[in-house]
């Protein structure tokens, strides 16, 4: 069984030198045959010699050196110039035949290098395209994530707006129902007052007039007494009618302004309810629009009515002050407290007073707040803007 021998570095160098020397001798022998041949021999021997040179790792310069040594050894020195030129041409042909395998290998390597370069260029281009596509994909992912977040936020906002709209619709329906109920209550109250007060008073006046007619021939003293009583009944009827008119629409507010109207209302309120009311006002409030002055009047009126009917208070205070860009009205009492937030937001709340006040204030772009604490009474605070308009 044959075994291949492994050479060390020194042995490998000696082996390469011997192989090169052998190749040099064979090259000279082959060139000698080429120079002595009359006809062109086959290039097979020269090609095999070139292949062996490649296996030994020899390059073109190495073969050129071997070719030069062989040419010097074989060149005829006593021949003619023509003979020398012919020998050089033949030797050159032989050298090219020996180089043919090396050139073919170089051509193949060049093609491989070119193909590799083309492949690398295609790979770089493809890598660049993939990088660009990856960047576009990342950007699209970021945009999609942003769009999804925006969509979720929009959905949440829409859901919140829908809930708020439903609450406002329910609140509006409740308020509309309360307005209708209040209107009916107000009409019932006016009807009862007209029947109980004015109709009875007018009936009494009619009776007195009948008595005057019967007793016209009686003493002048009785006649004067009946006349005085009848006058008092007429004056009472006039006062009742005036009170109804003031409650429905205070003429003083349109003719003289908010301050005189509040002063007159508080005076009558104290006389009717027994609750002492202090006023603290500033004249600049008359600069706001008629609509806003009416809102302030109705808030004060509604708050004092609640004080008389529910608070069990003995004292109250109505103050109107100026804040930056705003008019602030506060109505405070020393009566009992209540859960204002529950009453304002409860769908079962039957009293329109607080809701009506809040709606009036918000209609002119203002804000409305109720504070009620045990032992501290209740405060109703309304702020409206000085400027005309809703906002």
Q: What is the pLDDT of residues 346-389, one digit of tens each?
A: 555 545 578 888 888 999 999 999 988 887 889 999 999 987 64
Angle at 52 between CA 48 and CA 57, to 5 degrees: 145
Residue 334 phi, psi dihedral angles, 5° rounding: -105, 25
CA separation for the pair 306, 224 (Å, rounded): 44
Angle at 54 between CA 48 and CA 59, to 5 degrees: 125
- Asked if residue 50 lies in contact with residue 97, where contact means CB atoms within 8 angstroms, the answer is yes
Q: What is the pLDDT of residues 214-247, one digit of tens each?
A: 665 556 666 667 677 777 777 777 666 666 655 6
Give me the residue label for tokens 């576009």.
136
CA separation for the pair 316, 331 (Å, rounded): 7
* Domains located in the chain, CATH noted: 9-127 (no CATH), 250-391 (3.30.565.10)
Burial 229-246 (b: 16+ CB within 10 A, else e): ebeebeeebeebeeeeeb
Q: Which residues have C-beta within 8 Å of that of residue 56, sequence separation ≥ 6? A: 16, 19, 20, 23
**What pTM does this model have?**
0.46
How many C-beta atoms lie closer than 10 Å to residue 391's C-beta? 7
- Asked if residue 315 lies in contact with residue 266, where contact means CB atoms within 8 angstroms, the answer is no
Cα Rg of the chain (Å, integer): 61
In DSSP terms, 377 is beta-bridged to 373
Q: What is the 3-state secondary structure (H, E, C) of the chain?
A: CCCCCCCCHHHHHHHHHHHHHHHHHHHHHHHHHHHHCCCCCCCHHHHHHHHHHHHHCCCHHHHHHHHHHHHHHHCCCCCCHHHHHHHHHHHHHHHHHHHHHHHHHHHHHHHHHHHHHHHHHHHHHHHHHHHHHHHHHHHHHHHHHHHHHHHHHHHHHHHHHHHHHHHHHHHHHHHHHHHHHHHHHHHHHHHHHHHHHHHHHHHHHHHHHHHHHHHHHCCHHHHHHHHHHHHHHHHHHHHHHHHHHHHHCCHHHHHCCHHHHHHHHHHHHHHHHCCEEEEECCHHHHHCCHHHHHHHHHHHHHHHHHHHHHHCCCEEEEEEEEECCEEEEEEEECCCCCCHHHHHHCCCCCCCHHHHHHHHHHHCCCEEEEEEECCCEEEEEEEEECCCCCC
| Residues with pLDDT less than 70, the chain | 1-16, 37-44, 77-79, 172-199, 206, 208, 211-224, 226, 238-249, 339-352, 388-391
Cα–Cα separations (whole angstroms), residue 97 to 13, 34, 69, 87: 28, 11, 17, 15
CA separation for the pair 227, 209 (Å, rounded): 9
Tokens of 379: 């405060």
Q: How many alpha carbons fall within 13 Å on the CB side of residue 73?
A: 14
Tokens of 21: 């020397």
Per-residue pLDDT at 109: 77
CA separation for the pair 37, 90 (Å, rounded): 10
Cα–Cα separations (whole angstroms), residue 384 to 76, 80, 131, 282, 292: 129, 131, 62, 15, 8
CA separation for the pair 310, 357 (Å, rounded): 16
């Amino acid at each position: 069984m044959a075994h291949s021998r492994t050479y060390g570095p020194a042995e490998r160098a000696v082996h390469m030198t011997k192989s090169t020397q052998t190749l040099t001798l064979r090259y000279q022998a082959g060139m000698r045959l080429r120079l002595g041949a009359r006809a062109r021999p086959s290039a097979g021997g020269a090609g095999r010699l070139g292949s062996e040179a490649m296996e030994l790792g020899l390059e073109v310069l190495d073969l050129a050196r071997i070719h030069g040594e062989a040419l010097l050894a074989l060149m005829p020195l006593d021949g003619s110039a023509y003979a020398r030129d012919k020998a050089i041409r033949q030797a050159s042909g032989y050298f090219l035949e020996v180089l043919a395998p090396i050139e073919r290998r170089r051509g193949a390597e060049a093609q491989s290098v070119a193909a590799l370069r083309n492949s690398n260029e295609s790979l770089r281009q493809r890598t660049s395209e993939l990088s660009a596509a990856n960047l576009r994909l990342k950007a699209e992912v970021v945009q999609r994530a942003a769009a999804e977040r925006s969509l979720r936020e929009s959905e949440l906002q829409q859901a919140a707006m829908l809930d708020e709209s439903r609450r406002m619709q329910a609140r509006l329906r409740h308020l509309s129902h309360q307005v209708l109920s209040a209107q009916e209550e107000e009409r019932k109250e006016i009807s009862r007052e007209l029947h109980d007060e004015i109709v009875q008073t007018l009936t009494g006046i009619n009776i007195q007039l009948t008595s005057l007619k019967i007793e016209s021939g009686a003493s002048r003293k009785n006649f004067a007494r009946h006349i005085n009583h009848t006058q008092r009944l007429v004056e009472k009827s006039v006062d009742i009618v005036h009170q109804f008119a003031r409650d429905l629409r205070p003429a003083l507010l349109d003719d003289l302004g908010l301050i005189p109207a509040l002063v007159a209302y508080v005076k009558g309120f104290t006389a009717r309810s027994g609750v002492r009311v202090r006023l603290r006002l500033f004249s600049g409030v008359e600069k706001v629009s008629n609509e806003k002055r009416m809102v302030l009047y109705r808030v004060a009126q509604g708050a004092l009515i609640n004080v008389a009917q529910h608070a069990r208070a003995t004292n109250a205070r109505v103050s109107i002050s100026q804040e930056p860009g705003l008019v602030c009205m506060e109505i405070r009492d020393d009566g009992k407290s209540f859960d204002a937030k529950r009453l304002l937001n409860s769908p079962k709340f039957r009293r329109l007073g607080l809701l009506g006040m809040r709606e009036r204030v918000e209609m002119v772009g203002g804000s409305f707040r109720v504070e009620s604490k045990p032992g501290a009474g209740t405060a109703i605070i309304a702020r409206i803007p000085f400027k005309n308009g809703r906002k």
